[in-house]
C-alpha cells in the first residue's frame, strides 16, 4: 500500500486538491470510504486527499462513512489531517469569506456512529474494547497554529479560535435554531465536523478544522435564509485561496515522528482490543 504522511479531507465545493495524483482504492473493516484516495506531493510531503462527499457530491452529511474515511487515511500512513469545510456564520462579523480555525466543538448530530470502540466485532473477529478518550480539546494545537500562520501568510486574517456546532443535516437550521446557537456563544455551524474529529482522536491522528463561512445562518440575518447554491458559489470564490493556505499549512506541519501533542498519545493507558492500521 502506498504511503502518505498528511491527509486532507475536502468538503462541499472542494472535490480536488492536487493536480498530479495517483488514484487508489482503499478497503476498510468499516466499508468503503467516500471515494478513492488521491496521492500527491506538496513541499516534499506525501499527501492523501479524500473528497468527503465524494467527487460528485453524492453523499449527504449524515450518510458519509466517517469511520471508513479516517481508517483509510491512517492505513496509508497518515498521522495528521486537515479538514476544511463550509459553514454558516452565527455572528454578524463572521460574514461570507471569513476563515475561522475553531478550537472547540459542539455535537448536535443525532444518528451518526461516532466511535470505533463500540464492542462490535470486526470482519476478522477482533472485538474492540470500550475506550473512553479525552476530548476536552478536540483539535490539534500544532495543526491549528500551522493553519492560522498559513492564512496570515496569505493576507487572509483568520479568526483564531471559536466553537463549531455540528448539526445533523442535510437541512439547514430554522431561524429559532440558529438564534439559539448564536445565543450560546457559538461561532459557526456546519454539518460535517463531527464525528470526523473524534474518530481522528480515537485513531491518534492530529486533526485540524478550517471552516470557511459561506453565509450568515438563518437566524443571523433577514431574508430567505441560506441555500445550497449560495454555499457553493461563495466556496468557489474562495477555494483557490483556501487551497494556497492548505498548501502552506501542509508544508509547516511537523514530521509525524516528531509529534508531541496530546493527539499522538491519545491511547495511553488503554487496551484497545484491536490493532490499528
Burial of 109 (C-beta count, 10 Å sphere; 0-12/13-18/19+): middle
Choose, from 217, 224, 258, 265, the residue flagged as catalytic.
217
Q: What is the C-alpha separation between 2 and 78, in angstroms, rounded? A: 11
Is 115 among the annotated ligand-binding positions? Answer: no
DSSP 8-state assignment for residue 217: -
Phi and psi at 88, nearest 5°, equal -100, 140
Cell numbers describing residue 159: 479568526
Please tell me whether the peptide bond between 92 and the residue prior to it is cis, using omega within 30 degrees of 0: no
Distance of alpha carbon 38 from alpha carbon 41, whole angstroms: 10
State yes or no: 132 annotated in a binding site: no
Answer whether 218's CB lies under 8 Å from 226's CB: yes
Is there a binding annotation on residue 216? yes
With cell 466485532, the residue in question is 121
State yes or no: is 260 an active-site residue.
Answer: no
Q: Is 3 labeled as ligand-binding?
A: no
Q: Is 192 annotated as a binding residue?
A: yes
255 an active-site residue? no
- Of the candidates 35, 107, 215, 248, the residue annotated as catalytic is 215
Pairing of strands 159-160, 99-101: parallel
**Does 191 belong to an annotated binding site?**
yes
Binding residues are 12, 52-53, 191-192, 215-217
Binding residues for phosphate are 12, 52-53, 192
Binding residues for substrate are 191, 215-217
Q: Which residues are catalytic?
A: 215, 217
Amino acid at each position: 500500500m502506498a504511503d502518505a504522511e498528511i491527509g486532507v479531507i475536502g468538503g462541499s465545493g472542494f472535490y480536488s486538491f492536487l493536480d498530479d495524483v495517483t488514484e487508489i482504492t482503499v478497503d476498510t473493516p468499516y466499508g468503503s470510504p467516500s471515494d478513492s484516495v488521491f496521492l500527491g506531493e506538496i513541499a516534499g510531503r506525501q499527501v492523501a486527499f479524500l473528497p468527503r462527499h465524494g467527487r460528485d457530491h453524492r453523499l449527504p452529511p449524515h450518510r458519509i462513512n466517517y469511520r471508513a474515511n479516517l481508517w483509510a487515511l491512517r492505513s496509508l500512513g497518515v498521522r495528521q489531517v486537515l479538514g476544511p469545510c463550509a459553514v454558516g456564520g452565527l455572528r454578524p462579523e463572521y460574514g461570507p469569506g471569513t476563515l475561522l480555525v475553531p478550537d472547540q466543538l459542539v455535537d448536535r448530530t443525532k444518528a451518526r456512529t461516532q466511535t470505533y470502540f463500540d464492542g462490535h466485532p470486526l470482519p476478522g473477529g477482533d472485538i474492540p474494547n470500550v475506550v473512553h478518550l479525552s476530548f476536552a480539546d478536540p483539535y490539534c494545537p500544532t495543526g491549528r497554529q500551522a493553519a492560522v500562520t498559513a492564512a496570515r501568510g496569505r493576507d487572509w486574517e483568520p479568526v483564531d479560535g471559536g466553537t463549531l456546532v455540528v448539526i445533523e443535516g442535510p437541512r439547514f437550521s430554522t431561524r429559532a435554531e440558529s438564534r439559539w446557537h448564536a445565543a450560546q456563544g457559538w461561532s459557526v455551524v456546519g454539518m460535517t465536523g463531527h464525528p470526523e474529529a473524534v474518530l481522528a482522536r480515537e485513531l491518534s491522528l492530529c486533526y485540524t478544522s478550517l471552516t470557511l463561512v459561506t453565509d450568515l445562518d438563518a437566524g443571523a440575518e433577514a431574508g430567505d435564509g441560506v441555500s445550497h447554491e449560495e454555499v457553493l458559489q461563495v466556496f468557489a470564490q474562495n477555494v483557490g485561496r483556501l487551497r494556497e493556505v492548505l498548501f502552506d499549512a501542509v508544508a509547516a506541519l511537523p514530521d509525524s515522528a516528531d509529534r508531541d501533542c496530546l493527539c499522538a498519545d491519545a491511547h495511553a493507558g488503554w487496551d484497545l482490543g484491536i490493532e490499528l492500521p
